[in-house]
Structure 1
Amino acid sequence: MNTIHHLENTEPRLTSLSHGGGCGCKIAPAVLSEILKGVPQLPFPKELLIGIETSDDAAVYQINDSQAIVATTDFFMPIVDDPFDFGKIAATNAISDIYAMGGTPLFALALVGMPIKVLSNATIARILEGGAEACRSAGIAIAGGHTIDSVEPIYGLVAIGIIDPKQIKSNAAAKPGDVLILGKPIGVGILSAALKKDLLSPAGYQEMISNTTKLNSAGPDLAKLPGVHALTDVTGFGLAGHMLELARGSHCTAHIDWSQVPLLSQVQELADQDVITGASDRNWQSYGDEISLPMGFTKAQQALLTDPQTSGGLLVSCSPDTVKEVLDIFSRHQFLGARVIGQMGAKEEKSLVISN
């Protein structure tokens, strides 16, 4: 298939300069856990409402009765070759963690590492322009940042937001009986693998860009619903990894109906052809023993379950009588593919159970 690239002929493809792209760059969950295990933690002040305890999407620090600061950072290497698209995807992905807490973004700081002897100033500027465009769409400014000369291209943001402490939605408050709703289809990692192998069609590329640059702006409205108990977004650890974080933190078991999980176009076909990322296997090695799979679940389906998502969708755990309101909010924010994919149950031996 012919894939359109937007770099000048004299410059290498952005994806050729990085060993991994997008949220697929994340350190595998098991490795990260081992690294952090020996790092001493200072006592948390009472104002720090959410820290690292449940691997939540952002830190939350209360400043008064009605306001708390939401702070997060995210950055990665190129997932696409177009510099503007890369910048826009990376910024959208970083801002998503504010929305995933139910917060409203306030401003951002840019994190920039570029091989300045390899990429032109014009290409680097286009990456920054893409990031600025995502921030404009979110209604915030990039108020500063930091730059370094790096071997691989790296771009992302520190994102700062605000929220009423009473409306915070963590990833650790789901309840048995809750319905699970996913806001975006999955398969971004597989499309990015196809792009690097020149197997992604122009239509597939456009679908990938549309998915990864759509801000998860439904978050603040979802957070206002009392029946929404937990909220997170699906990124580098895949649907399974972030579902496991939700289940573990809430002391529940998540039950997913695989037939209801929305997929981006072409990804099933590509997965069947073994076009997958190395990160999907690393994810499975990290947490696969916590998952119960049905008979006949294929290697391709497992790769989709663990596929690293970049700027993935919001994952909502809500009471059954709140489902319509949640879907209406997603629809109002133009997430027309949002879908019920399962439910939370009482804690079982496995934290995640997949059915067909």
Structure 2
Amino acid sequence: MDNQVKLTALSSKGGCGCKIGPADLSQVLKNLPTPTMDPNLLVGLDTSDDAGVYKLTDDIAMVQTLDFFTPIVDNPYDFGQVAAANAISDVYAMGGKPLTALNIVAFPIATLDKNILSEILRGAGDKLKEANVTLVGGHSIDDKEPKFGLAVTGIVHPDKVRTNAGAKPGDKLILTKPIGVGIMTTSLKNGLLSDEEVKRVTSVMTTLNETAAEVMENFNVHATTDVTGFGLLGHSSEMAIGSQVGITIYNDQVPVLPRVRELAESGSMPGGTKNNYKHVEDVVVFPEEMDSIDRHILCDAVTSGGLLISVSDEEANQLLAELQAKGVEANMIGEVTEENKGKITVL
């Protein structure tokens, strides 16, 4: 394999792996006809949730999701691991158990060393094994820009589906991974990260949310979502709107990767992060003293981020303690309110 190839440099989007922004996506979807309602569709398009859930029997529902993006790290094996962890996460967020996966591959097969693709697939395969997910196939196309991801299917009991629409006033909010990933990976492309910083952000992205999902199974969790492309405030906004509640975020309690503010000030701000900020600025009340950089960090476009968990106040401290005891980088970052329905207040 040609070790001199920088995968992130092969992306026309700068290697950020960003989704289409929430505002643009809303414009695309708003004129489409409403899908025919099937009583077995438990979770569909209406709540902007992480995955679809379809009831098969009284005891089994199927969870379906997919995700793919351009390279956000240069090491092909790591890229495969990140992509797999990111795709699987949606099933965990829904309270489900991932079972099978399909690879989605776009690759310039005539111009890039084929061993690069082999390493991407090997990385994904190892992460699937870690999650006890069976690879059942995939599809590939020859494309000038490499892209990779997976479609993942899982199962959940129909009565135990967790969505982003169940948060209740009085709940506490727990986040299980630090934010700032988008700014860090953009900085990686620009050659601004040390080897240790690359290892740190890669470790965050390749860590499965499996442990967090298993721990919260024993608690009175009302809503979950995973924090990914739309950023912490974007996904919090979806939870607030879907649950018809207000959300308060305590900025000083939100975990942020080291040097993120410094890098953002230097100009390493992904386009997805800027789009996220524009999308939520009308539904978020920021402190007057909070500058633009800190506001954007809360909107940073994350890849393979943590779970945002809305849990009853009575059980929040115990859940937090058990998550941390299991090695999860969990922090209590906010609460759910009766006031300001569909809005977010940052303190």
- Length-normalised TM-score, structure 1: 0.94
Match for 2:3: what amino acid?
A: E
Matched, 1:41 2:34: yes
| Shift, 1:222, TM fit | 4.8
| Shift, 1:107, TM fit | 0.9
The aligned runs of 1:191-340 (5 Å cut-off) are: 191-222=184-215, 224-225=217-218, 227-335=220-328, 337-340=329-332
The aligned runs of 1:2-21 (5 Å cut-off) are: 7-9=2-4, 12-20=5-13
CA RMSD of aligned residues (A): 1.6
Aligned residue for 2:210, secondary structure, equals coil
- Map of 1:138 onto structure 2: 131
Asked whether the equivalents of residues 183 and 270 of structure 2 are also in contact (C-alpha less than 8 Å), the reply is yes
Asked whether the equivalents of residues 7 and 13 of structure 1 are also in contact (C-alpha less than 8 Å), the reply is no
- Map of 1:62 onto structure 2: 55
Aligned residue for 1:64, secondary structure, equals coil
The 2-side partners of 1:119 and 1:286 are apart by 37
Asked whether the equivalents of residues 74 and 156 of structure 1 are also in contact (C-alpha less than 8 Å), the reply is yes
The 2-side partners of 1:200 and 1:119 are apart by 25
Q: 1:171 to 1:149 in 2, by over 3 A?
A: same
Q: Which runs of 5+ in 2 are unaligned?
A: none
- Map of 1:125 onto structure 2: 118
Asked whether the equivalents of residues 91 and 98 of structure 2 are also in contact (C-alpha less than 8 Å), the reply is yes
Q: 1:21 to 1:46 in 2, by over 3 A?
A: farther
| Shift, 1:180, TM fit | 0.5
Asked whether the equivalents of residues 101 and 219 of structure 1 are also in contact (C-alpha less than 8 Å), the reply is no
Per-residue Cα deviation, 1:111-166 (whole angstroms, up to 9, x for no partner): 01111122111111111111101101101121101000112111000001111112
Aligned residue for 1:181, secondary structure, equals strand
Aligned residue for 1:191, secondary structure, equals helix
- Map of 1:345 onto structure 2: 337
Give the number of equivalent residue pairs.
Answer: 347
Q: Which runs of 5+ in 1 are unaligned?
A: 1-5
Report the more deviating stretch, 177-186 or 270-279.
270-279
The 2-side partners of 1:349 and 1:223 are apart by 26
- Map of 2:92 onto structure 1: 99
Per-residue Cα deviation, 1:53-106 (whole angstroms, up to 9, x for no partner): 111011111111221111100000000111111111011100000001111111
- Percentage of identical aligned residues: 43
Aligned residue for 1:330, secondary structure, equals helix
Per-residue Cα deviation, 1:257-295 (whole angstroms, up to 9, x for no partner): 000000111212212333211211111122211110001
Matched, 1:173 2:173: no
- Map of 2:157 onto structure 1: 164
The 2-side partners of 1:350 and 1:59 are apart by 22
The 2-side partners of 1:101 and 1:219 are apart by 12
The 1-side partners of 2:15 and 2:226 are apart by 15
Match for 1:237: what amino acid?
A: F
| Shift, 1:332, TM fit | 4.8
